[in-house]
Amino acid sequence: MGQGQPPKITVTVAQKNHHTELFQADAPDNVPPGF
């Protein structure tokens, strides 16, 4: 570091539940695609 290069970071998220649904607090519908 110190040479102007950003650090390399890898983030991995794994879920066993593939049917997870996300809801907005003020909307009765599901979160729009791409959220």
Please give the Cα distance from 24 to 28 (Å, whole number).
7
Confidence of residue 12 (pLDDT cuts 50, 70, 90): confident
Model pLDDT, residue 28: 61
**What is the per-residue pLDDT for 20?**
64
> What was the pLDDT predicted at 27?
63
Both tokens of 8, joined, read: 């390399």
Backbone angles phi, psi at 23, to 5 degrees: -125, 140
- The whole-number average pLDDT for the span 3-28 is 72
pLDDT at 13: 78
Residue 35 has pLDDT above 80, yes or no: no
